[in-house]
Structure 1
Amino acid sequence: MFSQSRLYYLFIGLFLVIQTSSSYKPSSIKNLGAFCANDTSHGYPNLNPIDQSQPRLINKVENGTLYQIGSGDDQIWLIHVYGNTGYDFGYAYGTLLRDQIHKVLPRAWTHFQQEIIDSLKDLKLPKWFENIIVNQGLDVALDFQNELVKKYTDEEIYNEMRGLADASQIDYKIVTRLHMLGEITRGRCSLYGLWGNVTLGGKTLQLRALDWDVDAGLQDYPVVTIYHPRTSKLGHAFANVAWAGYIGTLTGMSSLRLGISEIGVSFPDNTFGDESMSGLPFIFVERYILQYSETLDDALSFISDVRRTCHLILGVADGKLGTARMIQYSHSKVNFFDDQNLQPLADWHPRIPNAVYSGMDWLCPSRQYKLYRAIIDQYGQITPELSIKNITSIVKTGDLHVGVYDLTDNIMYVANARGTDEQGPKEAYNRQFVKIVLNIEFARQQ
């Protein structure tokens, strides 16, 4: 048995070495910048023990219960919300996290106002939208964007934001504006979906590493929200990883063992379609998948049919089916990839059996190849713990937060960046992860 196993992995290794493509070469790609073209540095293993302590009850109100998880400087608010309407969810959330919302949202808004003005030329926004920001202000621009997307967005999303604003007594417009920011700022991130022979025991694992702004103070108040709908019109239970006051989905898992990941694309190629400011914001596309989709096929059908907006790479994995897909996403085109047709196919982004992956961007040779090597170096042995130790920290991805999903057993591992006045490494991928057993959390009664 031992020799057969060794021969199998030798075969896989030879397959991956032989597999090359002339589709892209780093030297032939223009305007990548040093970030994607030249960074070959590696980090160090994350040797922090994973926190497995039980949630600690903090407070309880109608339709909501607040806990804390983690320890020391790596604590996370864990909030359960229950309801028949989005407003029920939002009001319970805003009541339990009122203080945290008041500390994080105004500060984040002030930061992003200046940050976007300073980075305007790099954001590649439509000229007309850029002119609104310059001449009338970011608040006016985001209010206008909200009007463009409103008809595509579920009314219950707005009801939830209204409930949050009413209960926390914060300006409703600040809440809606912050939820529009993702469409124009996006973020460099990484993802993988692994299954079958690539993981230890054949588990279905998924990575969502969020590389975004660590200077806005979002990480001071990290929140995992467990939604418990009391009516089928609100879907099924799911977990959303974000910050106080943010109900859009960037990271999360559902009670039906679906996981979501996302990467903003700054370096597309001509296989992408165009972009639009009018459609369903991607943070609500991702949320819909967790809240309403029952299978991978449901999720892919929704992505295919929805009015999409910007250039992205999405990842969706299904622990029930034991597989994952990567999606090339834009307003006018969408392409779906498995391990057999993964793109872009290049010597710096080879295909891996039983895996889909993307590091930081689409045309991003050095970052893509680092993630490829990290997966290959652990091929056949990958667990959530090993991924935390030897993948995200070595590749150096996930500075704001990292989610590693065990979709076979419905367990999530989460880490956040160092908060203000906290000690230790700055980046989430170098900090202590907290283990959340979602089967227990989804079953919690109020």
Structure 2
Amino acid sequence: MKVVLFLLIVAGTNVKLSFQAECHGKPDPNAMPNVNPIIKPQMKLVSTEKNGKLYTVGADNPALHILHVWGTPYEMGFAHGTLLKKQVVDFMNQVWDYLEEQVIEAINGSVKHKFHDWFLEDVANLGIEAACDLEILVTSKYSGNYFLEELKGISDASGLDVKKIQRIHMLGELTKGSCSMFGAWDSAVPSGNGLLQLRSLDWNMDGPFKNFPQLTIYHPNGNQTGINGLSAKTFVNVGWTGWIGSITGISEAKIAISEIGASYPDDSFGKESRFGIPFTYILRDILQFDYTLDDAINRIANAHRTCDLILGVGDGKEKRGFRGVQYSASVANFFDDQNMRPVAPWHPKITDVVYYGMDWLCPGYAQVLANQLTKYHGKLTPELTIMDVVSIVQSGSTHIAIYDFEHEMMYNSFSKADVQTGPVAAYDRAFFQFDVAALFAEKRP
């Protein structure tokens, strides 16, 4: 590993000199723009159930699934498992087989940096199932009961063991990944007003995830409330079939999320913990229950947090409505364009922009992302982000979401499925454009 020789961490008037490992990757200097046409998809209604509707889009097979679910958490889960029974069973079984294979390889030392060391120790001592069950045990008291109720609904409808589904939903806590994000507003966008937000997921290209992309639109009952006492809202969750945690999504309250795993943190992160709410659940709670940026900030600040991450939360209703979040068990620090960290020559401040490229300490990617955001400052649109930002930074191999709050649009791309042709990485493939207001307005069957 390389060593960062001089990293200045500035907090108030205190300057700390720290020696840290940094990520050593960087984009291909010959990366080409993505000039694929943006697709406004035609949705085909495939099936309905009392509390659900299933659409598909795209000519390729397998098509992207667009699933709408209504009702209580259990009812929404049951509709999910009913309308996509075969796909849920196939995905969960394939993910479990893949997890077992990867864990064995990690313990044997043939793959590195995919799992936390403490998890591999548990597996070596207890076995994979017991290690996952231990993680469920230490996080369950911090998680809303509605998550388990929804998983029970999926289990009852599909016939899958609910324990297996629970174990797979611990993946976010157990694994490491690299991703990118930005929030750009006011002077950074053409209208001089509004918010544009990027979420690029760079995670898994060799497992089954690429074959089961899905947008799940939740329409929860109005009497479902969160710990803040506010009613649950409609939101779209970008992920996979059978997956109920959130890593990518936007709500009817114009709240959206981004997330990056911090595999190369510095000392300012403090310690991680296993005892807390899984980050995929706290992100889902933000989409489901929070109405403002302050709601999300308070939720994160007061949560029992676990692993090292960088989060992004956008609120399209507010001026300067985006914050980057340094997230760990020890700290929750919130950044705008004025106080953004880390402070380094390769991570320059840009007016009305907060951004992170692939990790906390990742000069190769962060500098290229900064270059592209500076080049298009004042002109940043979803189209330019697709054509000449994510494609040049080469971030978003698994999936990408671009949230255009001003026009209530979301742009998504997904990695190549096994049966598809064309480029492999999502950042090189065609994007779909979705009218999120129309998704939220879908009529119940």
Asked if TM exceeds 0.5, the reply is yes
Deviations 1:378-409 (A, max 9, x none): 11111111101111111000111001111222
Q: Given the alignment of the two structures, is residue 46 of structure 1 paired with residue 37 of structure 2, yes or no?
A: no
Corresponding residue number in structure 1 for 2:255: 258
2:367 alignment partner, one of 366, 369, 373: 369
Cα–Cα, structure 1 residues 74 and 126, in superposed 2: closer, same or farther, change >3 Å?
A: closer
1:104 alignment partner, one of 62, 87, 91: 91
Cα–Cα, structure 1 residues 440 and 372, in superposed 2: closer, same or farther, change >3 Å?
A: same
Q: Given the alignment of the two structures, is residue 231 of structure 1 paired with residue 222 of structure 2, yes or no?
A: yes
Corresponding residue number in structure 2 for 1:82: 70
- Quick check: 2:182–2:197 contact (8 Å CA) kept in 1? yes
Q: Given the alignment of the two structures, is residue 274 of structure 1 paired with residue 271 of structure 2, yes or no?
A: yes
- Quick check: 2:78–2:157 contact (8 Å CA) kept in 1? yes
Corresponding residue number in structure 2 for 1:23: 8
Which segments of 5 or more consecutive residues in structure 2 lack a partner in the other structure? Answer: 1-5, 10-17, 226-231
Whole-Å separation in 1 of the counterparts to 2:51 and 2:220: 10
Whole-Å separation in 1 of the counterparts to 2:166 and 2:419: 29
Secondary structure class of the residue paired with 1:403: strand
Corresponding residue number in structure 2 for 1:115: 102
Cα–Cα, structure 1 residues 356 and 93, in superposed 2: closer, same or farther, change >3 Å?
A: same
Cα–Cα, structure 1 residues 399 and 215, in superposed 2: closer, same or farther, change >3 Å?
A: same
Q: Which amino acid in structure 2 is aligned with residue 138 of structure 1?
A: I
Whole-Å separation in 2 of the counterparts to 1:43 and 1:345: 27
- Quick check: 2:116–2:176 contact (8 Å CA) kept in 1? no
Corresponding residue number in structure 2 for 1:441: 439
Deviations 1:22-65 (A, max 9, x none): 727xxx85533532xx6563521111111102321111001000
Which segments of 5 or more consecutive residues in structure 1 lack a partner in the other structure? Answer: 1-20
- Quick check: 1:398–1:428 contact (8 Å CA) kept in 2? yes
Corresponding residue number in structure 2 for 1:132: 122
Whole-Å separation in 2 of the counterparts to 1:22 and 1:279: 30
Aligned residues: 419
Corresponding residue number in structure 2 for 1:195: 185
Corresponding residue number in structure 1 for 2:211: 220
Cα shift at 1:251: 0.3
| 1:383-402 mapped onto 2 (5 Å cutoff) | 383-402=381-400
- Quick check: 1:349–1:372 contact (8 Å CA) kept in 2? yes
Cα shift at 1:193: 0.6
Whole-Å separation in 2 of the counterparts to 1:287 and 1:188: 20
Q: Which amino acid in structure 2 is aligned with residue 93 of structure 1?
A: H
Cα shift at 1:444: 1.0
- Quick check: 2:196–2:402 contact (8 Å CA) kept in 1? yes
Corresponding residue number in structure 2 for 1:17: none
Cα–Cα, structure 1 residues 340 and 232, in superposed 2: closer, same or farther, change >3 Å?
A: farther
- Quick check: 2:23–2:361 contact (8 Å CA) kept in 1? no
Corresponding residue number in structure 2 for 1:144: 134
Between Structure 1 and Structure 2, the one with more helix by share is 1
Q: Which amino acid in structure 1 is aligned with residue 24 of structure 2?
A: A
Whole-Å separation in 2 of the counterparts to 1:174 and 1:115: 17
Task: Work out the percentage of aligned pairs sharing the same amino acid.
Answer: 39
Whole-Å separation in 1 of the counterparts to 2:263 and 2:30: 22
Whole-Å separation in 2 of the counterparts to 1:391 and 1:243: 25
Corresponding residue number in structure 1 for 2:300: 303
Secondary structure class of the residue paired with 1:58: strand
Whole-Å separation in 2 of the counterparts to 1:316 and 1:30: 27
TM-score by length of 1: 0.90
Q: Which amino acid in structure 2 is aligned with residue 75 of structure 1?
A: A
Whole-Å separation in 2 of the counterparts to 1:141 and 1:30: 30
Corresponding residue number in structure 2 for 1:12: none
- Quick check: 1:275–1:311 contact (8 Å CA) kept in 2? yes
Corresponding residue number in structure 2 for 1:289: 286
Cα shift at 1:161: 0.6
Between Structure 1 and Structure 2, the one with more strand by share is 2
| 1:330-409 mapped onto 2 (5 Å cutoff) | 330-409=328-407
Cα–Cα, structure 1 residues 437 and 385, in superposed 2: closer, same or farther, change >3 Å?
A: same
1:424 alignment partner, one of 414, 419, 422: 422
Runs of 4 or more, structure 1, over 6 Å off, are: none
Whole-Å separation in 1 of the counterparts to 2:73 and 2:397: 31
Cα–Cα, structure 1 residues 421 and 70, in superposed 2: closer, same or farther, change >3 Å?
A: closer
Cα shift at 1:171: 1.9
CA RMSD in angstroms, aligned pairs only:
1.7
Deviations 1:155-189 (A, max 9, x none): 01100011011111112122101110111113100
Cα–Cα, structure 1 residues 203 and 75, in superposed 2: closer, same or farther, change >3 Å?
A: farther
Deviations 1:365-389 (A, max 9, x none): 1111111111111111111111011
Cα shift at 1:334: 1.0
